[in-house]
Amino acid sequence: MQRFSGKVAMVTGGSRGIGAANARRLAGEGAAVALTYANGEAQAQSVVDGIVSVGGRAMAMRADNRDAAALEAAVERTVAELGGLDILINNAGIFPSGTIEEATLEELDRTIAINLRAPVVTAMAAVRHMPEGGRIITIGSNLAVRVPWPGISLYAMSKAGLVGLTKGLARDLGPRGISVNVVHPGSTDTDMNPADGELSDPQRSLMAIPRYNEADDVAGLVTWLAGPEGRSVTGAEFTIDGGANI
């Protein structure tokens, strides 16, 4: 099933975890995919090579989410080399931890720049090229909705801000037929939060279905929103966390 044949997607932070799963899933259904990375060049190239090896089109670009000019340049290069931009997946992010007494202004600024400002910057650049039917999907977090433990104030703040951004962009871009949504994963088995890590059992204890997401579980939901079935869904939040936020 090639429902994204002829479409071009850009995935920020696409070298590993949820970002890589999104890149592979979109490419597997026919999209040409550009992905960005900050440090993991070898990992990003591995994702690209895997896509190309089965006949897909993909490219990787270094673009730190703190660098607005680099993000804008990545959008322009995607359009120039892949022929357009139909789907933007804002995925790149960091997870700062520590109580507010331990937080620094530098950490606050870095969190806002990477987790919140960057999705605004990429959206501003992308919509200059998006046709009717375009999609913007941002990876938030179930911690934007409920914070079960201390020490994640900056992270929760930055992810909660994406909800307001999503709703505002949905209103701005709806007349052009562009949908904007946010997906809130819960605990997901990645190198940042492995399912067998020392903090995994407390996370599972919150869930109605006590199992970690696989990255591809999240990518499946994102792909549905990006596809034709999601054309009337906009300004919405989708939580995929095993019922941790019930």
Cβ count near 55 (within 10 Å): 7
Please tell me the distance from the alpha carbon of residue 137 to that of residue 157, in angstroms, as a whole number: 19
Please tell me the distance from the alpha carbon of residue 69 to that of residue 20, in angstroms, as a whole number: 23
What number of H helices and E strands is found in the chain? 8, 7
By annotation, the residues acting in catalysis are: 155
- 3-class state of residue 34 by DSSP: strand
- The sign one gets for the Cα dihedral 164, 165, 171, 172 is positive
Cβ atoms of 39 and 82 within 8 Å: the answer is no
CA atoms within 13 A on the CB side of 175: 3
Please tell me the distance from the alpha carbon of residue 90 to that of residue 83, in angstroms, as a whole number: 20
Cβ atoms of 137 and 166 within 8 Å: the answer is no
Cβ atoms of 156 and 112 within 8 Å: the answer is no
